Structure 1
Amino acid sequence: MARTALTAQRFATLGLAPTYGAPDAAGVSFRSNGKQVLHVKNGSGSSITVTLKIGKTIEGLSVTNPTATVAAGADKFFGPFNDNYEQPDGTDTVFVDFSSVTSVTTACLSL
């Protein structure tokens, strides 16, 4: 399965009414220049785990990906993301995984 590719939605002086979408079971991806924030809304009846995929190794060793819990009915903002989260393919792409995507929506917001 392919990840859901999110397009960053820019904050504006007169306000931003972001559009949210359901992520694919494989997670989401988005281009980052260090000014993006991911908003995750969990509308399900159970908490979910969000995994932020580290795109680099240190001296050839993999780094443990950080995780965070979003409680049932809650939402959280993640980021902004530095270049440690960009995947090594040179596209400045960040990957985020979810333990479940049922009743979850996301939006990528840009400063």
Structure 2
Amino acid sequence: MARTALTPQQFTTLGLAPTYVTPDAAGVSFKSSGKQMLHVKNASGSSITVTLKIGKTVQGQAVTAPTATVAAGADKFFGPFADDFEQPDGKDTIFVDISAVTSVTVACLTL
């Protein structure tokens, strides 16, 4: 299953009215320059878990990916993302998993 590929939306002096999309059940991906933030809006009736996938290993061992809860009816910003979160694809890609996507929308924002 493919992840939803997000295009970072640029903040401007005159303001940004971001476009939000429903993520795929496999999660989302976006290209990182170290200035991206992910905004997750949870309009569902239950909390969701957001997992920030770490693309590096330490001495050959996978590192536990950090998780955060977004409460029902709440939203949360994540980032900016350091190099440790970039996947080993050579494309500076960030992967984020979302435990449930019904009534959830996301946007990738960049400074």
What TM-score do the two structures reach when normalised by structure 1? 0.99
Q: Which runs of 5+ in 2 are unaligned?
A: none
In percent, how many aligned pairs have the same letter?
79
Match of 1:9? 9
Matches within 5 A, 1:1-111: 1-111=1-111
Distance 2:46 2:89 in 1: 34
Q: What's the offset of the Cα at 1:31?
A: 0.2
5+ residue gaps, structure 1, are: none
Mapped to 2, the partners of 1:110 and 1:95 lie a distance apart of 16
Distance in 2 (alpha carbons) for counterparts of 1:89 and 1:8: 19
Q: Offset of 1:58 from its aligned partner?
A: 0.6
The one-letter amino acid paired with 2:110 is: S
Deviation at 1:16, TM superposition (A): 0.2
One-letter amino acid matched to 1:72: A
In the TM superposition, structure 1's runs of 4+ consecutive aligned residues that sit over 6 Å from their partners are: none
Distance (Å, rounded) in 2 between the aligned partners of 1:90 and 1:39: 24
- Give the Cα–Cα distance (whole angstroms) in 1 for the partners of residues 59 and 10 of structure 2: 36
- Between the aligned partners of 1:9 and 1:30, the Cα distance in structure 2 is 11
TM-fit CA distance, 1:87? 0.2
Read off the aligned partner of 1:42 and give its amino acid letter: N
TM-score by length of 2: 0.99
1:1-59 Cα distance to aligned partner (Å, 9 max, x none): 10000000000000000000000000000000100000000000000000000000011
